[in-house]
A = this chain, B = another copy of it.
Amino acid sequence: MSDAHDTPGCCDALAIDPAIRRDALARLRSIRGHVEGIVRMLERDDVYCVDALKQIKAVQGGLAKTSDTILRGHLKHHVVTAHERGDDDAIVAELMDVLKYR
């Protein structure tokens, strides 16, 4: 623990919240199954374009919701305390890399 505190951006201090991790994991496993379903769909030569597009859109929605869950936890557990820890510049820079338009 004392060693960990000497490591910049140490893993323990900023690890994902356990409840959020379990929720995100369940969502990602479901998404994995959904993607597997689209792979099987595309293995058939009579698949219709719009059916594939609909399924991809559904997966994108699932990923966006998973992302929201993790982001909310990150804000709550790590970002609002960044100034106290003193890593606020790094926290903001890396978060904007993920959130920015392009």
Taken residue by residue from 83 to 102, chain A's Cβ proximity to chain B (1 for < 8 Å, 0 otherwise) reads as: 11000110110111111111
Docked Cα-Cα span, A65 to B100, in Å, equals 8
Q: Which residues of B contact A52 (CB under 8 A)?
A: 16, 24, 70
Q: Copy number of this protein in the oligomer?
A: 4
A63-B56, A75-B96 known; A28+B38 contact, CB < 8 A: yes
Docked Cα-Cα span, A29 to B80, in Å, equals 32
Interface residues, chain A, with chain B CB atoms under 8 Å away: 11-12, 14-16, 18, 21, 24-25, 28-29, 31-32, 35-36, 38-39, 42-43, 45-50, 52-54, 56-57, 59-61, 63-68, 70-84, 88-89, 91-92, 94-102
